[in-house]
Each structure stands twice: as C-alpha cells, then as structure tokens.
C-alpha cells in the first residue's frame, strides 16, 4: 500500500489557496510578448504583392486583381504568422486578441476587409483612373492646339 504517502500532501493542499485563475471574474492569464493572436490587416498599407497568398498554408487570402488588395477570412487562420513575416509593408500584424468565440463563422470580426470597403476602393480607383484619362486627354488637346 503506497497510497498513504499522498495523504499529507492532500491535506496540506486542503488549507492552501487554490492555484487557479477564476477567468470570467478576473482578467485572463496575461499573454506573453510576441503572442500570436488574431491577424489584423491594414488595407491602406497593402500594395498587393501577393506574398501572403503564396506563403499561407491555410488559404486565408484571396487576391483581388482589380483593386490590388487581398480579401481574407481569419476564421480559417492557423496563427503561424508566416504572412506577417513575409509582408514587405507591414500591412499584416498579429494582435493580442484571443477571445474569438462566435456564433457565426462569417462574423464581421473574422473578415477585416468588407465588401463595402472593397466597393469603395474600387470606385476610388475608377475615379482616379478617369481623372487620369481626363488629364491625359486634356494634355493631348493642349498639345494639339499648340
């Protein structure tokens, strides 16, 4: 019978404080530095180089050629941070957020670049293009006159 050797340990534990973190009542255990939490995407910094599409093992990214950005769905992310390492402009960053439970796979928090935003960028690009063409045309006219 080897069992009794545990009795003092167990009885000592009984009067000690529990070694647990009562999460919903307290803050969660703090995350370490360089913790790989949810992926954050900065659209303005993105230059559309497609490195993240190449390197991602989980197929999070879809390249949008007309606006030269990427659409992403982090519901599929495996938190390897390879896209962060490879991104030349720092548009992709890991955050500290890890409480990501959701009732919906396609929740807004999993889709950083939304449909409306894409439309907006597309319109903006078209306007820029039109403005450019207009400018070109005017320039050509002016050259003709001259």
Partner 1 sequence: MDVMGSIVYPIAGLLGLYGFVSLASLLWEGIDRKLVARMQRRVGPPLIQPFYDFLKLMSKETIVPNTANYMFRAAPVLALATAIALLAYTPMGFTPILASKGDVIVFIYLLALISFFKIVGAISSGSPYAKIGAAREATIMVSREPAMMLAIFAIMWRLGKLGVDKPFSMGIFYQHNIWEIGTPMSFVGAIILLYVFCVWLASEIEVGFFNIPDAEEEIAEGLLVEYSGRYLALLKLTKALKAYIAASLVVAIFFPWGIAGHLTGLSADVVNLLFHTLKVFILLFVVGSVFRAVTGRLKITQAVDFLWKNVFLASLVGSLLLAMEVIM
**Binders of partner 1 in range 48-67 (CB under 8 A):** none
Segment interacting with partner 1 (CB under 8 A) among 6-14, 57-65, 68-76, 90-98: 6-14
25/144 with CB nearer partner 1: 25
20/105 with CB nearer partner 1: 20
C-beta of 99: minimal distance to partner 1 in Å? 21
C-beta of 98: minimal distance to partner 1 in Å? 22
C-beta of 31: minimal distance to partner 1 in Å? 23
The reply on whether position 29 binds partner 1 by CB under 8 A is no
CB 74 within 8 A of CB 60: yes
The reply on whether position 16 binds partner 1 by CB under 8 A is yes
| HEC sequence for the chain | CCHHHHHHHHHHHHHCCCCCCCHHHCCCCCCCCCCCCCEEECHHHCCCCCHHHHHCCCCCEEEECCCCEEEECHHHCCCCCHHHHHCCCCCEEECCCCCCCCCCCCCHHHCCCCHHHHHHHHHHHHHHHHHHHHHHHHHHHHHHHC
The reply on whether position 14 binds partner 1 by CB under 8 A is yes
4/32 with CB nearer partner 1: 4
CB 125 within 8 A of CB 69: no
Residue ranges binding partner 1 (CB under 8 A): 3-4, 6-7, 10-11, 13-14, 16, 18-20, 22
């Amino acid at each position: 019978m080897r069992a009794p050797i545990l009795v003092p340990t167990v009885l000592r534990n009984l009067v000690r404080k529990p070694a647990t973190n009562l999460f919903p009542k307290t803050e969660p255990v703090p995350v370490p530095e360089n913790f790989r939490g949810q992926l954050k995407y900065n659209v303005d910094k993105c230059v559309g180089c497609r490195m993240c599409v190449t390197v991602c093992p989980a197929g999070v990214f879809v390249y949008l050629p007309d606006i030269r950005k990427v659409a992403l769905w982090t519901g599929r992310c495996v938190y390897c941070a390879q896209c962060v390492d490879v991104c030349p402009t720092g548009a992709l960053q890991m955050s500290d957020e890890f409480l990501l439970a959701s009732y919906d796979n396609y929740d807004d928090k999993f889709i950083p670049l939304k449909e409306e935003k894409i439309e907006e960028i597309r319109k903006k690009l078209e306007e820029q293009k039109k403005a450019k063409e207009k400018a070109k045309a005017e320039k050509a006219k002016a050259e003709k006159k001259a």
